[in-house]
Structure 1
Amino acid sequence: MKAVKDAAGKNTVKVILENCLLTKEEIKKSCELALEAGLDFVKTSTGFSTSGATPEDVALMKSVVGDKALVKAAGGVRTYDDAIKMIEAGASRLGTSGGVAIVQGKEHTNGY
């Protein structure tokens, strides 16, 4: 991660975890390593594995990175309520293909 951050210079760098495949301890350690490398974001998932972001995982990631990095919740954010839960848990960005539906108060039905 450090080599990527060094190569990126002043550009924003995020690491994408696949939280659904990791233990809580592995999520915590990954976030710690991201901080050590100076990354700007930690992201919950690619959105293409067995499940996406959960408020619990977002809160865990935020508890590790604090104000030193930002958390992006991605995968499974389909409704306005989902979006609010992720933001309340500590996400500063959301990755969703259903942005229009969320803003309209509808459920985005593609994906998980």
Structure 2
Amino acid sequence: MQRTELARLIDHTLLTPQATSADVAALAAEAGELGVYAICVSPSQLPVAAPTGVQVATVVGFPSGAVKPGVKAAEAARAVADGAAEVDMVINLALVKEGRLDELTREIAGVRAEVPAPAVLKVIIESAALDDAEIVAACRCAEEAGADFVKTSTGFHPAGGASVEAVRLMHETVGGRLGIKASGGIRSLETAEAMVADGATRLGMSASAAVLDEAGLF
């Protein structure tokens, strides 16, 4: 992929708990230099002054997803009020594991209601912690609830991050209707390109600069 094309797929991410306001300001400045699509920061760091053309994304229910649905919805509403154009929510994995899919759909729909278009809602399903049938089920719930994207991972789960197999399955399930965001462990151009080849339409990365350096000048 050309460097500029790849850059426009990237959410340049800083979600470490110890990140300071100065770190976030540096991330935003670097995002402008790199030409990425968005920055993704913790909700406590909002509002953020992003460069022209760079969207601001944040996370809710992060990183475990194990909070009450109303808490996630309230967190999402505050994030939008604080200037987030995109919200990446973590699902309650227990709802998938226990087959409580109607509850999962309602949880996502509750957040969607607080993230009205044109704001974008991405649903983090933590794919490495799910089997194939659970990945498919979670993606279908996200689609039914009106999400814009499904996303592989937080990058914080001990089961791991994104895999091309998960991205492919997510694409087979909702691709063409929902975006697919691969995130978690993407640290090389080879990995980034593999994710895109298998259906990713957005990439969450903290190693954006290094990956784009691999991609060259254009």
TM-score when scaled to structure 1? 0.90
| Matching of residues 66-81 of structure 1 within 5 Å | 66-81=175-190
User: Percent of counterpart pairs with the same letter?
Assistant: 42
Unaligned runs of 5+ in 2: 1-107
Aligned to 1:84: 193
Give the number of the structure whose alpha-carbon radius of gyration is greater.
2
Q: Which SS does the other structure have where 1:91 is aligned?
A: coil
Relative to total residues, which structure has the larger strand share, 1 or 2? 2
In the aligned structure 1, how far is the partner of 2:183 from the partner of 2:139?
16
Q: Which moved more, 1:10-19 or 1:23-32?
A: 10-19
Q: How many angstroms does 1:19 deviate by?
A: 1.0
| Matching of residues 1-112 of structure 1 within 5 Å | 1-10=108-117, 11-50=119-158, 51-105=160-214
Unaligned runs of 5+ in 1: 107-112
Q: Which SS does the other structure have where 2:150 is aligned?
A: strand
Q: How many angstroms does 1:7 deviate by?
A: 2.3
In the aligned structure 2, how far is the partner of 1:36 from the partner of 1:96?
27
Larger RCO (CA under 8 A, 6+ residues apart): 1
In the aligned structure 1, how far is the partner of 2:200 from the partner of 2:164?
9
Aligned length in residues: 106
- Note the alpha carbon deviations across 1:23-80, whole angstroms, 9 max, x for none: 1100000000001011001000001112110001001001111211100000111100
Runs of 4+ in 1 over 3 A off after TM superposition: none
- Is contact 2:153–2:161 with CA below 8 Å preserved after alignment? yes
- What value does the CA root-mean-square deviation take over the aligned residues? 1.2
In the aligned structure 2, how far is the partner of 1:12 from the partner of 1:46?
17
